Every structure is written in structure tokens, then in C-alpha cells.
Amino acid sequence: MARSQNKTIPTGQSVDSFLSAVQPQAKAEDARVLDALFRKITRFEPVLWGPSIIGYGRYQYRYKSGREGAFLATGFSPRKAAHSIYIMPGYADFGHILSRLGKHKHGKSCLYVNKLADIDLEVLSELIRAGLDDLAQKWPVEPT
């Protein structure tokens, strides 16, 4: 089956330029902290995916349906309302970590944090590592 085209793909745009444009200043400062944290945990260089997601690592997937593609392994986006933190393939098995994280909301693969002061960054580090380890059991994770 032909490979489906994801809408969210690496753009080649500068991550530093993107981070420099984040507003307000408090959100930009949190985004810089997140960038440093993701770099430290993943040991991957960041890549801008789509207009606003900073991704670390990538994986190739192929579902039973035949749909296949590549996507970021983990990352974040400093959105206006909250930081969106992406753990692939999702948060279903991480309740024991989320319970210690602090103030947050989450969907299937996205964690929402208003500001980093609301959460424990050591626990977030643990969550990022656990997410990558879980993903690597399904699909190989590679540098971007």
C-alpha cells in the first residue's frame, strides 16, 4: 500500500528561531527549559515538525491497516493556552508516573501543562524516558 502523507512533517526551519519568537516571555522561558530537558533525556537534536512542534527523534510506523509513515518520537509545542507535550504512542500505561507529575491534563498522546512551575521536572524526565522506551518496543526510534 502506498505511504500516506502526514500533515505534520519536518520543516527544516530553525528551532532556535522558532523558540526566539515564542510569546509571552514566560512561555518562551519555559520552552527553553523544555528544549534543554528533551535534549538531555533523548540525546537527540530537535527538529521543527509542522509550524509549531519541536520533535526529538523519529520512528517509522506501519499499522495493520497498511497506513505507514514517520513521526516524531517525543516533543512539545509551546501553545498559547498550555505547553503540549507529546509522548508516543500515548499515556495509557503511565498513570503511576502522571500521579506524581503535578498539575496537568492529558489526552491520548498529549500532555497539557500551563506552566512548568506547576509540575515536577524530574517526574517529567522520567515520563519522557518511559515514553521513548515504550515506543522503542513497538517501533525503532532513531535520531532526526
* pLDDT tens per residue across span 35-57: 999 999 999 999 999 999 999 99
**Grid cell locating 87:** 509522548
Residues of the chain above pLDDT 90, percent: 78
> What is 15-137's CATH number?
3.90.1150.200
pTM of the model: 0.91
* C-beta of residue 96 within 8 angstroms of C-beta of residue 102: no
- CA–CA distances in Å: residue 113 to residues 9, 41, 55, 108: 24, 19, 17, 15
First-last CA distance in the chain: 25
* pLDDT tens per residue across span 66-81: 888 889 999 999 999 9
